[in-house]
Chains A and B, each alone.
Chain A
Amino acid sequence: MARTAKTRHKVLMTAAAWLSGLLIFFPILWMLLTSFKTELRAVSTPPSFLLFHWTLENYASVLQRSAYLHYALNSVITAGGSTLIALLLGVPAAWSMAFSATARTRSILLWMLSTKMMPPVAVLVPIYLIYRDLGLLDSKAGLVLILCLGNLPLAIWMLFSYFKEIPKDILEAARVDGAGVGRELIHVLLPMALPGLASTSLLSLILAWNESFWTLNLSTSSAAPLTTFIASYSSPEGLFWAKLSAASTLAIAPILVLGWLSQRQLVRGLTFGAVK
Chain B
Amino acid sequence: MGRITLQDVHKSFGPVDIIKGAALDVADGSFVAFVGPSGCGKTTLLRLIAGLEDVTSGRILIDGVDVTGVPPARRGLSMVFQSYALYPHMSVRGNIGFALKMAGLPKAEISRKVEAAAGTLNLTPFLDRKPRELSGGQRQRVAIGRAIVRHPKAFLFDEPLSNLDAALRVQMRLEISRLQRQLGTTAVYVTHDQVEAMTMADTIVVLNAGKIEQCGSPLALYTTPCNVFVAGFIGSPRMNFISGEAAGKYGAATIGVRPEHLRVARNGDGWPGVIMAAEHLGSDTLLYVNAGAAGTLTARSVGELQLGAGDRVSLAPESAHIHRFDEFGRALRV
Write the residues of chain A forming the contact surface with B, with a CB cutoff of 8 angstroms.
167, 169-170, 172-180, 183, 187-188, 191-192, 194
Contact = CB atoms under 8 A, between A and B. Distances in A.
Contacts of B103: 178
B157 to A, nearest CB: 12
Interface in B73-89: 73-75, 77-79, 81-83, 85-89
Nearest to B99: A177
Interface string B56-70: 000000000000000
Mostly, the A contact residues are helix
B89 A191 contact: yes
B71 interface: yes
B98 interface: yes
A180 B74 CA distance: 9
Contacts of A188: 87
A63 to B, nearest CB: 45
B99 A169 contact: no
B16 interface: no
Contacts of A176: 50-52, 72-73, 75, 77-79, 156
Contacts of B89: 191-192, 194
Contacts of B156: 176
Nearest to A177: B99
B146 interface: yes
A256 B50 CA distance: 50
A169 B81 contact: yes
A229 B88 CA distance: 46
B98 A174 contact: yes
A177 B85 CA distance: 11
Given A175-B71, A175-B72, A169 B83 contact: yes
Interface residues of B, number: 26
A177 B81 contact: no
Contacts, number: 66
A174 B79 contact: no
Given A170-B88, A175-B71, A176-B75, 16 more contacts: A167-B85, A169-B81, A172-B72, A173-B86, A173-B87, A175-B72, A176-B77, A176-B79, A177-B73, A178-B73, A178-B99, A178-B150, A179-B73, A179-B98, A192-B87, A194-B89
Contacts of B85: 167, 169-170, 172-173
B88 A192 contact: yes
Contacts of A179: 73, 98, 102
Contacts of B87: 170, 173-174, 188, 192
A178 B83 CA distance: 19
Nearest to A191: B89
Going nearest first, the 8 A-B pairs with the smallest beta carbon separation are A178-B102, A169-B85, A173-B85, A177-B99, A191-B89, A178-B73, A176-B79, A175-B72
Q: Which of B51, B82, B88, B146 has the most CB of A within 10 A?
A: B88
A175 B52 contact: yes
Contacts of B72: 172, 175-176
Q: Which of A176, A179, A180, A188 has the most CB of B within 10 A?
A: A176
B98 A177 contact: yes
A176 B50 CA distance: 7
A183 B72 CA distance: 14
A240 B81 CA distance: 67
B83 A167 contact: yes
Contact of B146 (A167, A177, A191, A194): A177
Contacts of A191: 89
Given A172-B52, A188-B87, A180 B73 contact: yes
Contacts of B86: 170, 173
18 contacts: A167-B85, A169-B82, A169-B83, A170-B86, A170-B87, A170-B88, A172-B52, A173-B79, A173-B86, A173-B146, A174-B87, A175-B71, A176-B51, A176-B78, A176-B79, A177-B150, A178-B150, A180-B71
A166 to B, nearest CB: 9
Contacts of B82: 169
Contacts of B78: 176-177
Nearest to A188: B87
Nearest to A167: B83
